[in-house]
Structure 1
Amino acid sequence: MKDTPGWASPGSAPSDGQEPGASGPAEPADSPESAQQPPADQPAPGPNWSKEQPPAGQWSAPTGTQAPGQAPPPPPGPGWGTPPPAGPGAPGGWGGAPQGYGPPGGYGGWGGGWGGPPPAAKPGVIPLRPLGVGEILDGAVSTMRTHWRTVLGISLAVAVVTEILVILVQGFLLDDRVDTDALNDPSATLDEITRAMGDSLLNSGVILLISAIGTVIATALLTTVTSRAVLGKPVSTGEAWRDARPQVPRLFGLLFLLLLITMGVAVAGAVPGIVLAASGAGDGGVALAVLGALASTVVAVWLWFRFSLASPALMLEKQGIRKALSRSAKLVKGSWWRVFGIQLLAMIIANVVAAIVIIPFTFLAGAVSGEGASNILNGTTEFGWTFLIVSGVGSVIGSMITLPITAGVTVLLYIDQRIRREALDLELARAAGVQGSGTGTPGS
């Protein structure tokens, strides 16, 4: 054949061995085609048109009815579909679905409502596909709600131990050695203000260090719970502890190394200014120390979030410390701002929830201990045991709520990054016993 199947123009169907546009043999005078003449109001085809034009009745209205005595349309030729009739909406016409593509709304339609790939499987708290920010946060909350006995039990134990350490350190060490009164004294000298700022940073740093240890331990224990929740499988506190126990010493080593790196970088930036101030430069050395500390703090924050996924990598992949740091750096590479933004959002939400719980207990502690609200608002760091105990109860309740959120977000963010980079969703689907699931739509 000379023509290409599926590319013939409507109404023309040249036969084998005959070029398009060439006139064929004459029809017998008594054939049905020769007996039917075009109507008077229809112009005859021009000289450049094929003489084998379809009968006028073939190009009928969209109703699909045929005039009496009209010859039926020729059968569809091979190719992608049937030659479209004139009317839109006619069966197989311009508005209909081409042959072989199915009705509109099916998977084979020509843009007529294609339903997209099958939705991603969701055996547990998240769909097995790249996640959006809301899905990560919702997954952390769903884990806490679905496995509340295990999650709250772990959070309560970690929060109680952490808060006891904070109370003991503040009561026996910080209250006697930390003096921040100069920060509220307008007549204080520069040296007194500098010393008070150092004491305040020491107080906050020690509390932050203890809280960070508790957070990392909670993340380690909740990693198993969250990973099982992704697969839709329950886990008890004992199972979570047995799974996490072999990695706990490495986890403490990882935490120590992370703190050493970040705090070392932050302090290193202020060292030149401190040395200059000690040599007698005065205000110039202090200014240089402050600027250096700010610049190095930015670098320390960048390093902290670059290695923020090392903890779940160490727990789930049973890796060593160096391998876990390398895995975190690989997963975060190219997505630092996304990882930073999601974890920052989770911390803001957790702190807001914690503040809602802790603030009433803080004022209650001030009223019960006789410290009063004025000392609290003035930012003093010297409190009695009554105040520390009552406010510690509020901190424990707040930590029970916030620890699962921050830990769950970290673990789900690690899983999300592995899904995006390593197609972990396929392995998770097999582990969950899901067959034939789609990938869905990637999250933001």
Structure 2
Amino acid sequence: MNDTPGWTSPGSAPSDDQNGSGTPGPAPSDANGSAPQWSKDQPPAGQWSPPTGQTPPAPRTPTTGPNWGTPPPNAHWGSAPAAKPGVIPLRPLGMGEILDGAVKTLRTYWRTVLAITVTVAVISEIAGILAQRYLAPTVPAADPDATPAEALQQSLDAAQASLIGTGPALLVTLMASLFSAALLTVVISRAVVGRPVSLGSAWQEARPRLLQLVGLTLLVAAMSTAIVLVGLLPGLLVGGAAGAALVMLGGFGGLATAVWLLIRFALASPALMLERQGVIQSLKRSAKLVQGSWWRIFGITLVTQLLIFVFAMIIVIPFIMIGIAVDGDGFSGLLTESSAPGWPFLLITGIGGVITSAITYPISAGVTVLLYVDQRIRREALDLELARAAGLPGYGPAPGDQTVGG
């Protein structure tokens, strides 16, 4: 396997097949076997022709440690600003620049992005509405005078009803999110080098990788779930007060390990889509890119998800309040009735969900893809490959459709 492929967005040859395809081959590694510091097409000494008005970039050393703030100005580009053919400057990025790049992709390519996200969000919301309306069984109101055994049974019945009602909808939402992420990865990879992409082109390029992306997502989810269950198992087997303490301790340890695993494999999806890697190879690729930068990627991911959550609540809560007020007995019915919500409530909240998903999907996908690009710029001088792919003067001949599909 080629551990350090060149820039290969969807539509190009697999990173492992570099011979005779026109796709850049592997870049050299240093003596310690770490990621290369130079592009594979670096010109010989004395023949480097920098872009007009710019000085050539200085050699990079891999960035490690938890520093995930904005990099020092011109840290790798001398006194000249970095080239910016697309939504991000071609240099190591700070958290604000990654978020800004995701938002710019939504603004610049809004027709393609919204065509993807609105379609996916509508399908997800329809599935959720139908599941809540027709699959979720009615749960009897809780009896305040119930014995502990009866109260436990009531809780189990409520949990079962919730699982039956939301399980199919969650499955549809997961598949829709994967579909959206695959198409948006294609769009964002083009946005980095300033090239537009149509919905049909994005679908054509993402379609061959969808099944592998599903397998990758399910594998990571299964591993995370298994880790948490293993942490809980000793306490569940022991039981009693000691068992409860073990459950808390094991659950915390299992959850922490699962979070570590999720961040370690956070860049596997863009590696699978953009490098034409297999599932296992993509997991290894992500682990290599994340190594030494775990805390930085964790911090950016956490802040992004918190911002998305706050934004979603700002949009969703007014729709929920309106839906409750319009549906049936309003707020009093919400507090006293255990029946399924009515059509007005479901439709109004569904509209709010579509608006939220249509905007948050591309932001979340954009941050993941741009984190992947940023790590490769820091580790492998990918900015030189991207500059050539964008056809910028002074970086060698533009590879055209051989590196970035047109």
Normalising by structure 1, we get a TM-score of 0.65
Name the aligned partner's letter for residue 189 of structure 1: P
1:139 and 2:97 matched: no
1:263 and 2:225 equivalent?
A: yes
- Asked if 1:366 is matched to 2:327, the reply is no
Task: State the partner residue of 1:340.
Answer: 298
Q: How does 1:121-270 map to 2 (within 5 A)?
A: 121-173=83-135, 175-176=136-137, 181=142, 189=148, 192=151, 196=155, 199=159, 202=163, 206=167, 210-270=172-232
The number of residues matched between the two structures is: 317
- Distance in 2 between residues matched to 1:208 and 1:290, nearest whole Å: 27
User: What is the deviation of 1:306?
Assistant: 1.2
CA RMSD after TM alignment = 3.0
**Paired amino acid for 1:274:** L
Q: CA deviation at 1:377?
A: 7.6
TM-superposed CA distance for 1:141, in Å, is 0.3
C-alpha deviation, 1:160, in angstroms: 1.2
The structural deviation recorded for 1:117 is 3.2
**Residue deviations 1:309-334, cap 9 Å, x none?**
11111111111100111111111111
Q: Where does structure 2 lack aligned partners over 5 or more consecutive residues?
A: 1-54, 56-76, 396-406
Determine the structure 1 residue equivalent to 2:281.
323
Deviations 1:50-88 (A, max 9, x none): xxxxxxxxxxxxxxxxxxxxxxxxxxxxxxxxxxxxxxx
Pair 298,205 (structure 1): closer, same or farther in 2 beyond 3 Å: farther
SS at match of 2:256: helix
CA deviations on 1:105-164 (whole Å, 9 max, x unpaired) are xx9xxxxxxx94322100000000100110000000000000000001100011111222
Is the CA contact (8 Å cut-off) linking 1:137 and 1:409 kept in structure 2? yes
For 1:314 and 1:329, the matched residues in 2 are separated by: 13
Q: Does the C-alpha gap of structure 1 residues 391 and 153 become closer, same or farther in structure 2, counting only changes over 3 Å?
A: same
* 8 Å Cα contact 2:231/2:253 also seen in 1: yes
The AA in structure 1 aligned to 2:196 is P
Could you report, residue by residue, the CA deviation over 1:233-262 in whole angstroms, capped at 9, with x for unpaired residues? 111111110110000011111111111111
Asked if 1:428 corresponds to 2:383, the answer is no
- CA positional deviation for 1:403: 0.6
Deviates more, 1:348-357 or 1:309-318: 348-357
* Gaps in structure 1 of 5+ consecutive residues: 1-106, 108-114, 438-444
Contact 1:266/1:293 (<8 A) preserved? yes
Deviations 1:171-200 (A, max 9, x none): 333x31778958xx5976378459738828
Identity of aligned residues (%): 51
CA distance in structure 1 between the partners assigned to 2:371 and 2:208 by the alignment: 23
Q: SS of the residue aligned with 1:311?
A: helix
2:355 to 397, 421, 441: 397
Highest relative contact order (Cα 8 Å, sep 6+), 1 or 2?
Answer: 2
Aligned to 1:60: none
| Corresponding position of 2:43 | none
Equivalent positions of 1:283-298 (< 5 A) are: 283-298=241-256
1:265-323, Cα deviation, whole Å (9 max, x unpaired): 1222222222333xxx3x44344334322321121111112111111111111111001
Q: Specify the code of the residue in structure 1 equivalent to 2:188.
A: T
Distance 1:222 1:378 in 2: 43
Q: Structure 1, residues 322-355: CA drift from partner, whole Å, max 9, x if none? A: 0111111111111111111111111111122211
1: CA distance, partners of 2:190 / 2:142: 50
Residue 269 (structure 2) aligns with: 311
Corresponding position of 1:59 = none
Larger radius of gyration: 1
Kept in 1, the 8 Å contact 2:99–2:367? The answer is yes
CA distance in 1, matches of 2:339, 2:225: 23
Q: Is the 8 A contact 2:327 2:342 kept in 1?
A: yes
- Compute the displacement of 1:381 (Å): 9.1
Query: Is the Cα contact below 8 Å between 2:142 and 2:154 reproduced in 1?
Result: no
Instruction: State the secondary structure of the residue aligned to 1:176.
Output: coil
**Equivalent-residue separation in structure 1 for 2:269 and 2:337 (angstroms):** 34
Q: Is the 8 A contact 2:129 2:346 kept in 1?
A: yes
Where does residue 354 of structure 1 map in the other structure? Answer: 312
Q: 2: CA distance between counterparts of 1:321 and 1:289?
A: 33
Task: Name the residue aligned to 2:258.
Answer: 300
Point out the more displaced range, 419-428 or 191-200.
191-200
Residue range with higher mean Cα deviation, 137-146 or 427-436: 427-436
- Taking the aligned partners of 1:215 and 1:226, their CA distance within structure 2 comes to 16
State the alpha-carbon separation in 1 of the partners of residues 114 and 371 from structure 2. Answer: 21
Q: 8 Å contact 2:131–2:165 — kept in the other structure?
A: no
- 1:315 and 1:301 mapped to 2: Cα distance? 23
